[in-house]
Structure 1
Amino acid sequence: MSVSEITLGHPPAEARGAEFRRGAAASTPVLLGIVPYALVLGAQAAQKGLSVVEVPLMTGLNFAGGSEFAAIQLWTSPPHVLLIAAITLLVNSRHFLMGAALAPFLRHLPKRKALPALFLMCDESWALGLADAKRRAAGGLRPAFSLAYYAGTALPFYLAWVIFTTCGAALGPVLGDVERYGFAMAFPAVFLVLLRGMWKGFAAARPWLVSLAVAAATYLVVPGAWYVAAGALSGLVSAWLLAGEK
């Protein structure tokens, strides 16, 4: 699927271009934040034995930073494929909820446009795209979801993630332990900014808090990266249970 097909929509080309640039401008501050931890992931993958070719294949086909960090932490030689696949499924399962939240705004799109848009969905592009769609809906604009704007946010994230994880893999052996430069702080910093923008009050944040508490407790008592799966699963279960209360 080409870039032009992803950004194709009802507005004229000039309007689509303006919307794409608007999305790219909105994504730039967050984009600068993901570059450091893309380098960290690439360097860690190289230290685990992945080649400069294998790293962009992983990050380009999976395109989900949290599960990739978890997979690299679990990576051995030979790798425990079933365990890594299970952890990846659990960590990425949040995309079911993200996609469900976005789905009402995508109903006007044919599958040939909606499916590539969903493939490019990450936490950052989802948050920006959903917030923009809600603003447009509140302002009476139809369709509320601007595919060109979303492409302007999502494509830079995708390209930057693949490019800079590859750079991290190439430079990792030269730089050594890249975490000593403080790059790892970019990962929680970006998510704190996104969470702040999505804050709807304490009641809506209860699944986050459950996930945090369970992940922290598991990290303290269970060796390995099981805290990632525990946090993801407990967050999903608590969100489902709390949704049943309403």
Structure 2
Amino acid sequence: MNAIEPALSDPPATTPNDDLRRGAIAAVPVLLGFIPFALVLGAQASQRSLAAGEVALMTGLNFGGGSEFAAIELWTSPPAILVIVAMTLLVNSRHLLMGATLAPYLRYLPLRQALGALFFMCDESWAMGLADARRRGGFSLRYYMGVSLCLWGTWVCFTTLGALVGPLLGDLHSYGFDMAFAAVFLVLLKGMWKGVQAALPWLFSLITAALFYLLIPGGWYVLAGTVAGLVSAYLWAKP
């Protein structure tokens, strides 16, 4: 292996089980934060007439909370498939960049193992895996998978549980639970705030989404606001 290539080997003092256990333990604080959001998502899905098995299938195959909340919000009867698919692709497009940063560490693995690692990737496991690699001087696939599998299992189990208890809760809007994910995004935006000038694409996205919401029926306002924000950010960054 070339000296400048990312190291994939674990430190010699650890065993495979040690790194899996280390990843699982490191995931505990994060998965505790997953639980309320998973319950809210499952309960919201049940309000849209999705069965618990369907919720488990959705969250198990598409491990991306933001796109799943967006899909449930856009869900109608019959569902607007094209809008939901387009929104899911836009929200999950960040995984392209995340996967690219992991590629140097996974390139030495058999394709089946590399694809499996990417399938279980989420924002938290990606960040924790890279942070661990920087601390220890080498990427531990077993640590990363210990984190990823614990987070994935928690998400699927508690979204399913939320779907089962959702009908007992009644209208979630009366509890304010439906604002949970929006509140998290507001906190994230606060952390990303770099001044009024840098936030102009956000404003353009908001105005576009509001106009589509008022003038065009359906969930197109979500897609329109997202595209407007991306285009305006690109144009604003050009000299």
- Aligned counterpart, 1:185: 180
- Kindly provide the amino acid, as one letter, of the partner of residue 159 in structure 2: T
1:40 aligns to 2:34 (yes or no):
no
TM-score normalized with structure 1 length: 0.75
Secondary structure of the 2:139 match is coil
Moved more, 77-86 or 182-191: 182-191
How big is the shift at 1:183? 7.4
How many residues end up aligned between the 2 structures?
225
Q: Of the two, which has the highest radius of gyration?
A: 2
Moved more, 165-174 or 122-131: 122-131
TM-score normalized with structure 2 length: 0.77
CA distance 1:55–1:105, shift in 2 (3 Å): same
CA distance 1:131–1:177, shift in 2 (3 Å): farther
- Do the aligned partners of 1:37 and 1:187 also contact (CA within 8 Å) in 2? no
- State the distance in 2 between where 1:72 and 1:101 align: 30
- State the distance in 1 between where 2:143 and 2:182 align: 24
- Kindly provide the amino acid, as one letter, of the partner of residue 104 in structure 1: P
1:152 aligns to 2:142 (yes or no):
no
CA distance 1:213–1:21, shift in 2 (3 Å): farther
Secondary structure of the 1:53 match is helix
Structure 1 residues 62-141: aligned runs within 5 Å = 62-136=62-136, 141=137
5+ residue gaps in structure 1? Answer: 1-8
- State the distance in 2 between where 1:186 and 1:103 align: 30
Pick the aligned partner of 1:166 from 160, 169, 190. 160
- Do the aligned partners of 2:64 and 2:92 also contact (CA within 8 Å) in 1? yes
How big is the shift at 1:66? 0.9
- State the distance in 1 between where 2:19 and 2:185 align: 24
- Aligned counterpart, 2:15: 15
- Kindly provide the amino acid, as one letter, of the partner of residue 119 in structure 2: F
- Kindly provide the amino acid, as one letter, of the partner of residue 100 in structure 1: A
Map Cα deviations across residues 162-221 of structure 1 (whole Å, 9 max, x no partner): 11110111000101234626574367549957x96xx8x959xx6xx5664444334433
